[in-house]
Amino acid sequence: MRDTLPSLAGLHAFVLVAETGSLTTAAERLSVTQPAVSKRIRALEAHLGARLLHRGANSVQLTAAGKEYAAALGQAFDAIRGATSTISTRPSGPLRVRAYTTWALRWLIPRLPRFRARHPGQEVEVTTSIAPVDFARDPVDAAIRSADHAPAPGAERLQVVDVAPYAAPGLARLVRRQGLGGVTLLGSKVRPGDWALWAAAVGRPLQGPPLLFESTSLAVQAALEGLGAVIASPMLVAEDVRRRRLLRIAAAVVDTPDSYWLVVPPGRPGPALQAFRAWLLEEIAAEAAGADRAALPGLTRAG
């Protein structure tokens, strides 16, 4: 007997078009071109001998047969996803996350023991890079990117990048008495404009350009050693502030145009990635609820 099942690729493409109402969105989720999606659906229609879509100049509509078929297929794909999720509950390997060095070292890794405690056996492998991620090429499951807009379709905003100046206690007391004049300003080549942005927002002129390191981590370490005042996001120096190794030397915390974004491959995320995303958002929400307000005596957070 001839197998009457059509191509799974065609079925998947049609279900996504039915769910999203868009060939373009379906193509993005499948990581293929729009013509490829259209070709798969035409092949499916030819196999069925029935028209599933009304194609307009800028839109697609389901035919009556298409609506009926989409409803049945939606239930079938939900069943497949459920079965897959059930059989994939045991970790098959580490979840591979790419992030910026400073964010990974100073924000993510210190919190990973809490993720492990909640999801025993699910390891998270962290790599660092400032390069854009290409999931078709790079061996990663998710990436954390910094940008002033969504860096990829479906990217999810995590944290606004805000900045403030910090210094070791001895230098901080000096700055409080005489200001930033004569103090070496420390920053990162990755974010070279943060000092200028902060100064413009608070109306303080800077005397000379900052000394820029390869990463904010290096700049913060230089500040810890008393080499100068560093511009950094409060969330990245919260532990140093809590332990009084660094003090905020001005009240204003200034938002930059940038945010950290969670970028994941198109399609439905697997159980490990779903768990990591949910945990990440919980950690960020908890951090926001108890945001760092530490500074020199007499100063309060602003901006």
Contact 228, 184 (CB under 8 A): yes
Average the pLDDT over 216-222 and give the result.
97
CA angle 292, 210, 259 (to 5 degrees): 45
Report pLDDT for 86. Answer: 60
Average the pLDDT over 181-186 and give the result.
93
* Single-letter amino acid, residue 169: P
What confidence category does residue 288 fall into, taking pLDDT thresholds of 50, 70 and 90? confident
Contact 264, 206 (CB under 8 A): no
Helix ranges (DSSP H) in the chain: 8-20, 23-30, 34-48, 64-87, 101-103, 109-118, 169-178, 194-202, 216-224, 238-242, 271-289
Report pLDDT for 300. Answer: 41
What confidence category does residue 194 fall into, taking pLDDT thresholds of 50, 70 and 90? very high
Average the pLDDT over 103-127 and give the result.
95
- Fold of the domain built from segment(s) 90-303: D-Maltodextrin-Binding Protein; domain 2 (3.40.190)
- Fold of the domain built from segment(s) 8-87: Arc Repressor Mutant, subunit A (1.10.10)
| Gyration radius from the chain CA atoms | 25
Report pLDDT for 118. Answer: 93
Is the pLDDT at 15 greater than 60, yes or no? yes
* pLDDT tens sequence across 122-181: 999 999 998 888 888 889 999 999 999 999 988 999 999 999 999 999 999 999 888 888
Is the pLDDT at 110 greater than 50, yes or no? yes
pTM of the model: 0.66
Mean pLDDT for the chain?
Answer: 88
* DSSP-derived 3-state class of residue 264: coil
Nearest to 220 by CA among 203, 234, 201, 206: 234
Is the pLDDT at 211 greater than 80, yes or no? yes
Tokens of 173: 């007391």
* Single-letter amino acid, residue 80: I
Average the pLDDT over 8-17 and give the result.
90
Report pLDDT for 106. Answer: 95
What confidence category does residue 301 fall into, taking pLDDT thresholds of 50, 70 and 90? very low
Contact 202, 293 (CB under 8 A): no
Report pLDDT for 126. Answer: 96
Residue % of the chain over a pLDDT of 90: 60
* Single-letter amino acid, residue 251: A
Report pLDDT for 125. Answer: 96
Report pLDDT for 299. Answer: 40
Report pLDDT for 78. Answer: 81
* pLDDT tens sequence across 67-97: 999 999 988 888 887 776 565 555 568 999 9
Tell which wins on pLDDT, 295 or 252. 252
* DSSP-derived 3-state class of residue 94: coil
Q: Where are the domains of the chain?
A: 8-87, 90-303
Is the pLDDT at 41 greater than 50, yes or no? yes
